[in-house]
A and B are shown apart, each in its own frame.
Chain A
Amino acid sequence: MIILDHSIALMVVSPITAAVIIKFLSRFDHSDALRDTITFIGLVLPLILLMLTPFDTEVVYEMGGWPREYGLSLVLDGLSRTMVLITGIITLCTYVYYIDYLDQEPEADDYHFLFLFMTAGIYGVFLTGDLVNRFIFFEIMILTTYVLLTFVGTKRSLKASFRYFMIGAIASMMFLVGIGLTYFYTGYLDMGALSRVIPELSAFSRNIIFVFFLVAVGVKMGLIPFHTWLPDAHVEAPTPMTAILAALTVKTGGYILLKLYDIGFNTSLIQYIFITIGIFTAVIGALISLKYVNMKKILAWLTISHVGVIAVIFSLWTPESLSAGLLYFFNHSFYKALLFLALGSFAYLYGTHDIRKLPLFKSNIILSSSILIGLIAFLGIPPMNGFYSRWYILESVDDHLILAVMILTFLITSASIIRIIFLSSRKKIPVDKDLSEGVMAPLLILGGLVAFTGPSTSLILENIVFPASESIFGNPGLSTSGVEINAVFSLQGMFILLTMIGGCVLFYSIKKFSFEWIEGRLSNVSIRDSVRYIIVMMAILLLLNLL
Chain B
Amino acid sequence: MMLNGLNIGLITVLIGLYGIASSKNSLKMMMCLSLLGTGVILLFVSIGYIPGAAVPVAGRGELMADAVPQGVMVTAIVIDLATTALGLAMVLYLYRSFSTLDFSSILESEGGEE
Min distance, Cβ B112 to any Cβ of chain A, angstroms = 7
Does B6 belong to the interface (CB within 8 Å)? yes
- B107 and A526 within 8 A (CB): yes
Contact with B along A257-293 (1 / 0, CB 8 A): 0000000000000000000000000000000000000
Q: Which residues of A contact B33 (CB under 8 A)?
A: 166, 169-170, 173
- A158 and B40 within 8 A (CB): no
Contact residues, A159-180 vs B (CB, 8 A):
159, 161-163, 165-166, 169-170, 172-173, 176-177, 179-180
Q: Which residues of B contact A163 (CB under 8 A)?
A: 103
- A183 and B114 within 8 A (CB): no
Does A132 belong to the interface (CB within 8 Å)? yes
- A183 and B98 within 8 A (CB): no
Does B65 belong to the interface (CB within 8 Å)? no
Q: Which residues of B contact A136 (CB under 8 A)?
A: 75, 79
State the majority secondary structure of interface residues on B.
helix
User: What's the tally of chain B residues with a CB closer than 8 Å to chain A?
Assistant: 43
Contact with B along A131-156 (1 / 0, CB 8 A): 01000100100010011000000111
From B22, B37, B104, give the contact of A173 (CB < 8 A). B37
Give A183 to B43 CA distance when docked, in angstroms: 11
Q: Which residues of B contact A146 (CB under 8 A)?
A: 86, 90
Q: Which residues of B contact A170 (CB under 8 A)?
A: 17, 20, 33, 36
Closest CB pairs A-B (n = 6): A531-B21, A156-B111, A184-B47, A180-B44, A155-B97, A139-B79
From A155, A165, A166, A526, give the contact of B98 (CB < 8 A). A155
Chain A interface residue count: which class? 35 or more
Contact residues, B19-38 vs A (CB, 8 A):
20-24, 26, 29, 33, 36-37
Does B8 belong to the interface (CB within 8 Å)? no
Could you tell me which A residues sit within 8 Å of B by CB distance?
A: 132, 136, 139, 143, 146-147, 154-156, 158-159, 161-163, 165-166, 169-170, 172-173, 176-177, 179-180, 183-184, 189, 235, 294, 297, 353, 524, 526-528, 531-532, 534-535
Q: Which residues of A contact B94 (CB under 8 A)?
A: 158-159, 162
Contact with A along B66-98 (1 / 0, CB 8 A): 001100100110010011001100110110011
- A180 and B69 within 8 A (CB): yes
From B26, B44, B72, give the contact of A162 (CB < 8 A). B26
Query: Which B-chain residue is minimally distant from A162 (CB atoms)?
Result: B90
- A176 and B107 within 8 A (CB): no
Does B64 belong to the interface (CB within 8 Å)? no
Could you tell me which B residues sit within 8 Å of A by CB distance?
A: 6, 10, 13, 17-18, 20-24, 26, 29, 33, 36-37, 40, 43-44, 47, 68-69, 72, 75-76, 79, 82-83, 86-87, 90-91, 93-94, 97-98, 103-104, 106-107, 111-114
Give A250 to B97 CA distance when docked, in angstroms: 29
- A524 and B112 within 8 A (CB): yes
From B40, B47, B106, B107, give the contact of A183 (CB < 8 A). B47
Query: Which B-chain residue is minimally distant from A138 (CB atoms)?
Result: B79
- A143 and B111 within 8 A (CB): no
Give A179 to B72 CA distance when docked, in angstroms: 10
Give A363 to B1 CA distance when docked, in angstroms: 71
Assuming the contacts A170-B33, A173-B37, asked whether A159 and B68 have C-beta atoms less than 8 A apart, the reply is no
- B75 and A528 within 8 A (CB): no
Assuming the contacts A189-B68, A235-B114, asked whether A527 and B20 have C-beta atoms less than 8 A apart, the reply is yes
- B112 and A176 within 8 A (CB): no
- 13 other contacts beyond A159-B94, A180-B69, with CB at 8 A cut-off? A143-B82, A143-B83, A147-B86, A154-B111, A158-B94, A166-B33, A166-B87, A169-B83, A176-B76, A180-B44, A353-B114, A527-B29, A528-B20
Give A155 to B112 CA distance when docked, in angstroms: 10
- A162 and B111 within 8 A (CB): no
Min distance, Cβ B113 to any Cβ of chain A, angstroms = 6
Give A147 to B13 CA distance when docked, in angstroms: 26
Give A532 to B21 CA distance when docked, in angstroms: 6
Q: Which residues of A contact B79 (CB under 8 A)?
A: 136, 139, 143, 172
